[in-house]
Amino acid sequence: MTVRVGQGFDVHPLVEGRALVLGGVTIPYDRGLAGHSDGDALAHAVIDALLGAAGLGDIGKHYPPNDPRYEGAVSVELLTQTVDTVAGANWRVEYVDATIIAERPILRPHIEDIESSLALALRTTPESVNVKATTTDGLGSTGRGEGIASMAVATLSNIR
C-alpha cells in the first residue's frame, strides 16, 4: 500500500456582515471570513492538503477564485467534490489533522461539531479527523483579531 501526506494552509480576513464558517460549522461571532466563497479557511486548508497528497495541484487550480461558479460557494461542498476528485485518482482519505489559528472567538465548544462536519464531507469517521484551535498570544494579524488562519495535514492511501 502506498501512503502519501499533504499539507494545506489558508488565511482570510475577518469582516463585518458575514457569517463565520469553519469546517462547515457556523460559529456565533460578530464577524465572518471574507472570501470569494464562504471564506471557510479550515475547509480550504483541508482541500489543499488532500490535493497535495494526491499530487493534483492546489485549491486555486480546481476552484479558481475569479470563477463566478464558486462565488458564495459552500466550502465543505467543495471539500466533498475534492474527495471525489482524489478518489478518481485512486486515493482514499485515511486521516486529517488540522489547526485553526484564531485569537477570537473561543473555538473549543465547537471543535466536536467541526470534526463531525469535516468527517461527513470527507466520507470518513470522526475518529479519522482531528481539529485543534490555538492562538498566537496576540502576535501578528491573527493575534490582533484581523483574521483566522488554518493548517491541515492529510494522509491518503492508494486504492489501486
Q: Report the largest interatomic distance among the alpha carbons of the chain, rounded to a whole angstrom.
A: 47
Write the burial class of residue 83 (CB in 10 Å: 0-12 exposed, 13-18 middle, 19+ buried). buried
What grid cell was written down for 86? 482524489
Cis peptide, bond prior to residue 105, ω within 30 of zero:
yes
Round the CA-based radius of gyration of the chain to a whole number and report it: 15
Residue 57, pLDDT score: 97
- Amino acid letter, 36: H
Give the domain range for residue 67: 3-158
Residue 61, pLDDT score: 96
Residue 62, pLDDT score: 97
Measure the CA–CA gap between 148 and 12, rounded to whole angstroms. Answer: 6
Instruction: Please state the domain count of the chain.
Output: 1
Between the alpha carbon of residue 26 and those of residues 3, 49, 50, 95, 140, the distances in Å are: 33, 22, 23, 23, 24
Residue 78 belongs to a domain with what CATH number?
3.30.1330.50
pLDDT tens digits in sequence order for the chain, 160 residues long: 799 999 999 999 999 999 999 999 999 999 999 999 999 999 999 999 999 999 999 999 999 999 999 999 999 999 999 999 999 999 999 999 999 999 999 999 999 999 999 999 999 999 999 999 999 999 999 999 999 999 999 999 999 8
